[in-house]
A and B are shown apart, each in its own frame.
Chain A
Amino acid sequence: MNVLRYFRLRSPWYGRLEVLAAVALLTHLLVVWAIPYVIMAALSMSRPAEERGAGPLFPPMTDASQRRVVMPSPDLLYATCAFDVRQRPLRIQADPKLPGYWSIALYAANSDNFFVLNDRQAAGAPVDLVLVGPGTPATGALPAGAKGVTAPGGRGLLLMRVLVGDYAVEREAVEAARRTLRCTPLN
């Protein structure tokens, strides 16, 4: 154990094995913890610059050219909004009039799915949500008919899913449905 002895006897504190091991362990935990945040942040930032801040993103119907998110579902049409409710609440509205499945899911910056609303739960009524974070400044009463949702943090991602059986046939209906999504910061 000459190496150990060297580290114990010859080195000042910053050269000791215990300190190096602690640095390695902390780095390990920090990287594991940070992976979801980094991937989510990269996803939120990855839309073309000219579209940033311009409301929801409506990517084309999923096919083999989609390489933005792993394991994309080829049976779903998506719409996304990256949100930041640290300064202002976000009003989320949609009215997809479809007979099939759709859902609106909210993900925290660490990728936790903290809220989901599907067509059955909406029961035909338009979606009207006001999203706030733990530190969002109060803005008074909710708009009439809106439901409040609290995010665990200030930033995250909204993902709307619309089930598509045959895109060529259903295109008009499903495109219209997902384009009812609005993500508007509340003043």
Chain B
Amino acid sequence: MAPEDELNPAFRPHWYGVLALYLAALTVGAGSAWLAVRSQLDSGGVMAGVWRTSTLAGSSDADIYTRAVIAVGALLALNRDETMYYVATTDSKGRALRSRCRYRISGPAPDARWWSVTAYAEDRFLFPNAERRYSLNGGTAPLDARGHFAFESGPTPPAGNPPAAPWLPTPGDRGLSFTLRLYNPAAGLAAAPASLAAPVIERLGGCE
């Protein structure tokens, strides 16, 4: 018997069955869209050391996925001639950053008119802290004789009195990322974002 012969011309799915199927299709479509965007939040772009930058932030060249990812992860970014954003989610050995750990972030002052490094928790907002200190920048980070900056992050201040290095407080035990912002970067850097002399993120101690 041919398969078509099995057709029952009187067969009609129940309306609630059809409704359930279409609701499932909508859910699959919307859910996969959200997962696709979430999964690209900390991926793509160009790497400089452990620092990742999107070359399309704020640009009208962005495709619908890039635009959605930026809207969710870095809304109202500027295009890269104006500002470059580099995000690090691991230390220089590739271990995921945690706020309870102590890190030393150091490197040459970036080639830009102004720069800053900001600590964000896993929700992409700032860490509440009594010092109300959320970032270190070209104005606040002292440079050594070679033009390098160095600071420490962690839940408690660096040892020493005065402390051995400026401190960026990261209280609690939460996810952590650092964002390096370069306002008016040098033209060569804007053209080749991977050429950044990337700051090193070194974990200090055992991260108990």
Contact = CB atoms under 8 A, between A and B. Distances in A.
B57 to A, nearest CB: 8
A115 B17 CA distance: 50
Interface string A141-176: 000000000001000010100010100000000000
Given A33-B64, A64-B127, A10 B8 contact: yes
Is the contact region of chain B dominated by helix, strand, or loop, or is it mixed? mixed
Interface string B166-208: 0000000000000101011000000000000000000000000
B75 A35 contact: no
A112 B184 contact: no
A180 interface: no
Nearest to A114: B60
Contacts, number: 169
B135 interface: yes
Interface stretch (B32-40, B46-54, B147-155): B32-40
A28 B32 contact: yes
Given A70-B124, A101-B114, A165 B139 contact: yes
Contacts of B30: 27-28, 31
Contacts of A28: 28-30, 32-33, 36
Nearest to B69: A35
Is the contact region of chain A dominated by helix, strand, or loop, or is it mixed? mixed
A152 B60 contact: yes
A23 B22 contact: yes
Given A24-B28, A69-B76, 13 more contacts: A9-B4, A10-B7, A12-B13, A15-B17, A20-B21, A25-B29, A27-B26, A33-B68, A35-B67, A67-B125, A72-B125, A163-B114, A165-B140
Interface of A: 5, 9-12, 14-15, 20-21, 23-33, 35-36, 39-40, 43, 62-67, 69-75, 100-101, 103, 105, 107-108, 110-114, 116, 118, 120, 152, 157, 159, 163, 165
24 contacts: A9-B6, A14-B18, A15-B17, A24-B25, A24-B26, A27-B25, A27-B33, A28-B28, A28-B30, A32-B36, A33-B68, A36-B71, A70-B72, A70-B73, A73-B116, A73-B181, A103-B78, A105-B82, A111-B71, A112-B67, A113-B76, A116-B79, A163-B114, A163-B183
